[in-house]
Amino acid sequence: MGVGTRYCAILTFVFVVAATAIAHRYWEYPAGAQQIGQYNHFLKNISIMGGAMLIFVTGAGRFSFDRAS
């Protein structure tokens, strides 16, 4: 719907940064399957942060409520 899109994108970015810093410390795991799994989740969170920044920069789009105001 595009209500408060940029605020939600920043909130999502900050939340994912905190979650990544707390939960996906892949460098603390022993080499093996656990470390690879945590590294994959770490990279997934990095891509989510990139998507949140993309939405922050571009906005919600032409047909959103944010654009109407």
Distance CA(28)–CA(38), nearest Å, equals 10
Arithmetic mean of pLDDT, 42-59: 96
pTM: 0.85
pLDDT of residue 38: 93
Question: Which tens digits make up the pLDDT trace of 36-47?
Answer: 999 999 999 999
DSSP string, the chain: --SSHHHHHHHHHHHHHHHHHHH--GGGSPTTHHHHHHHHHHHHHHHHHHHHHHHHHH-S-TTSHHHH-
Question: Is residue 65 pLDDT above 80, yes or no?
Answer: yes
